[in-house]
Amino acid sequence: MTHGPLKEIRPGDVLEFFEAKQVICAVCLGLKNQRLTVLTEHNRELNLARSRIIHIGDRTLDLNLTRDAMVRELAAVSIGRESLMAQVEVEELWSLLEGETEGYGANALAEFVFAAPAGDDQVAAVQRVLFQDRLYFQFKDGKFHARSPEKVEQRQLEIEREEQKEARLEAGSKWLKAIWQRKPQPAVTNRDDLIEGLKSFCLFGQESPHYAFAKELLQRADISAHPLSALRILTRLGIWQENENLYLHQHNISLEFSPQVEEVAAARAQAGIGPQHLNEHRRDLRDLHVFTIDGALTRDYDDALSLTVLDNGLFEVGVHIADAAEFVEPGDPVDEEAKERSASIYLPDARISMLPPSLSEDICSLRAGEERLAVSFFIRVDEEGGVHDSEIALSRISVSQQLTYQEVNEQVADDPMLQRLYQLSQRMRKHRLAHGAVILPLPEVQVHVNSAGMIHISQYKKETPSQIIVSEWMIAANGLAASYLAERGIPAIYRSQAECKPETNQVASEHELFHIYRQRRLFARAELDTKPGMHCSLAMPYYTSITSPIRRYIDLLVQRQLKHALREQPPLYQEEELRQLITKLGSMQSKIFLIQRKWVRYWILKYLEQEDIHALDALVLDQNSRFVHLLLPDFLIEANMPVPDKPRLQPGELVRVKISRLSPREDVLRLQI
């Protein structure tokens, strides 16, 4: 705070300065380079910047006095000035000066209050009062300016807000301190507001609108002003769990559906399949042997397969997709919620469905033994996997079997139908590879956390018979849907991918995983557009996504567009609306990918902590002057490590590293050779 020009300070001068919002009386003991050594009325010797001095009068002290004597003198001066302060009526002084455009120094104001000429103590008393006053006068450029009545009223509101804030801070900090020290909590009136502030600070740190308040609150409670401190408090209060998924909170994603959405979905499920769903366009396939292949924990079955041997030596593979569009009306509460969610989110410790369970796990789900509505894709192929023709139809189906990936892998050698389907799938893949498809299969790491908080991690290869069967026929169905729409000039959400560049800077490495990661980095990102285009890595001239309408909103949207085309109705969506949806859904899908990646990583780091793992194998992907970029093959997560002095590491090399610091909550994994 600048207080205008002060007289020259000499040793022995009595002066005043602010400390912790209090005016302190002191004597100057010495000066050096604009800094003063002072002795205060509280018997403390301090070193002050000259800018901190707010008052110097004519009063001096004899520096030859003992220290105790000087302290007594200073205390007497301070007490005398405090008694004079009682004579200063701030409001009366303001009413006298209100409307004046000029400001007044403390000397001039003291003469309005006390008989002129005002002495040193009277001037100091007036200045003390006016510095304490936060309502009627404003200190600026070394003078006190009387505020206008409007400004006084405005300032009064500001003071009330400041006092309320101070009261919240005082009560809140005591409450937090008790929680932190696990002591009985005192009553606090604004508990909900304090909790919301702590949540915001925990989630967004310095970006939180409550950052300054939460920081001061924690500091007053003698707690480290760190977002993790807020998390610990919220956990102790039972508001959040120890392993709370903060990423979901940051992006405002809820595990629950609103009562309105649940009510609409339940009514649709309860109504079931009625006459309005069964018209001349829907083919009855309930006698066809239809089966699903999914994970063991799957409850929302949205695709199924069938295989029929035809008389002419051909095989008809059916890909049957749950007709979710028949139960989710465009623009209704369920649809709007699904659009906001964009997709189901599968996490190690939770599953967040795009559609309420009454739809996703009941009336839409292709459960065994239940009549269900579907959109069926029929692809007729020969022994070599060559496609002869195809057809799309709305259908009624009844699933006969629900197989897991593991069951298919175990049965494929002995089950003639599965064996034939696997052979056809391999030949379909061979055709795609011949047309330029690039398959770079990464193994998949599955992280599952049970209700007791135990973490189970497994890794499996995607190139198993069951995986190949499912992926090849889903690719075929997606391509068939895209071709049907594209050839009729119908706008949809198409997926395309630019040319796949080959790796030119070959690096020798015996580890296939290294080459797969390197090649994947050269691939262009898949793009969404309303116009079709080539998908390079799949070798498909047209491609879309339609095989998971229960789990992905884009698939539901494309399914609606396709159904309108099959019924020879005008497109439900026009190009401009689809473009807007691409922007919205693309943004949300990026968030979902980020949440899934970060939360899987969190649990992997927790696993390393839980299992007390200290050393790991690491594959060198790249390095610069500061960091080595590593891949941990056992968990398929990446990490940076400072470049070691020795030995010089080479890309593609497998090295042994140890963990020097691990903090799952802070996403910290520090490694060294």
Task: Tell me the DSSP string of 91-108.
Answer: HHHHHHHTT-SS-B-HHH
For residue 248, tell me if it sits in a domain.
no
Angle at 359 between CA 358 and CA 364, to 5 degrees: 135
**Rounded mean pLDDT of the chain?**
92
Of 128, 150, 172, the domain-final residue: 150
Q: Are residues 353 and 430 located together in one domain of the fold?
A: yes
Q: Are residues 208 and 267 located together in one domain of the fold?
A: no
Q: Are residues 403 and 539 located together in one domain of the fold?
A: yes
Q: Are residues 476 and 492 located together in one domain of the fold?
A: yes
Share of the chain above pLDDT 90, in %: 76
Of 109, 133, 150, the domain-final residue: 150
SS3 assignment, position 154: helix
Q: Are residues 440 and 366 located together in one domain of the fold?
A: yes
pLDDT at 543: 96
pLDDT at 508: 73
Q: What is the pLDDT of residues 371-423, one digit of tens each?
A: 999 999 999 999 998 999 999 999 999 999 999 999 999 999 999 999 999 99
Task: Report the C-alpha dihedral over residues 420, 483, 334, 580, rounded to 10 degrees.
Answer: 140
Q: Are 454 and 527 in contact (CB under 8 A)?
A: no
Q: From CA 338, how far away is CA 549, in angstroms rounded?
A: 11
Q: Are residues 220 and 357 located together in one domain of the fold?
A: no
- Please give the tally of structural domains in the chain: 4
SS3 assignment, position 409: helix
Q: What is the pLDDT of residues 301-360, one digit of tens each?
A: 999 999 999 988 899 999 999 999 999 999 999 999 999 999 999 999 999 999 999 999
Q: Using alpha carbons, select from 669, 668, 671 the residue that is nearest to residue 228.
A: 668
Q: Are residues 145 and 278 located together in one domain of the fold?
A: no
For residue 296, tell me if it sits in a domain.
yes
Q: From CA 660, how far away is CA 673, in angstroms rounded?
A: 10
Q: What is the pLDDT of residues 1-22, one digit of tens each?
A: 334 446 789 999 999 999 988 8
For residue 516, tell me if it sits in a domain.
yes
In DSSP terms, which residues pair with 15 in a beta bridge? 26, 56
For residue 667, tell me if it sits in a domain.
yes
pLDDT at 2: 36
80-89, 197-206, 622-631: least confident range: 622-631
Is the Cα torsion angle 422, 426, 427, 428 positive or negative in sign?
Answer: positive
Share of the chain above pLDDT 70, in %: 98
For helices 575-610 and 553-566, give the axis angle rounded to 10 degrees.
150
3-state secondary structure 540-577: ECCCECCCCCCCEHHHHHHHHHHHHHHCCCCCCCCHHH
Of 212, 240, 268, the domain-final residue: 240
Q: What is the pLDDT of residues 582-631, one digit of tens each?
A: 999 999 999 999 999 999 999 999 999 999 999 999 999 988 888 999 99
Q: Are residues 138 and 159 located together in one domain of the fold?
A: no
Q: Are residues 589 and 621 located together in one domain of the fold?
A: no
CATH number (domain holding residue 666): 2.40.50.140
For residue 250, tell me if it sits in a domain.
no
Q: Are residues 496 and 538 located together in one domain of the fold?
A: yes
Q: Are residues 436 and 495 located together in one domain of the fold?
A: yes
DSSP at 181: T
CB atoms within 10 A of CB 164: 11
For residue 118, tell me if it sits in a domain.
yes
Q: Are residues 73 and 126 located together in one domain of the fold?
A: yes
Q: Using alpha carbons, select from 255, 225, 349 the residue that is nearest to residue 606.
A: 349
Q: What is the pLDDT of residues 656-673, one digit of tens each?
A: 999 999 999 999 999 998
Q: Is the pLDDT of residue 142 over 90?
A: no
For residue 48, tell me if it sits in a domain.
yes
Q: What is the pLDDT of residues 116-132, one digit of tens each?
A: 788 889 999 999 999 98
In DSSP terms, which residues pair with 497 in a beta bridge? 535
Which residues are CB-contacts of 394 (< 8 A; sequence separation ≥ 6)?
281, 282, 283, 323, 373, 374, 375, 376, 563, 566
Q: Using alpha carbons, select from 120, 123, 239, 139 the residue that is nearest to residue 179.
A: 239
Q: What is the pLDDT of residues 456-502, one digit of tens each?
A: 999 887 789 999 999 999 999 999 999 999 999 999 999 999 887 77
Structural domain boundaries enclosing 567: 259-599
For residue 247, tell me if it sits in a domain.
no
Is the Cα torsion angle 189, 192, 195, 201 positive or negative in sign?
Answer: negative
DSSP at 140: E
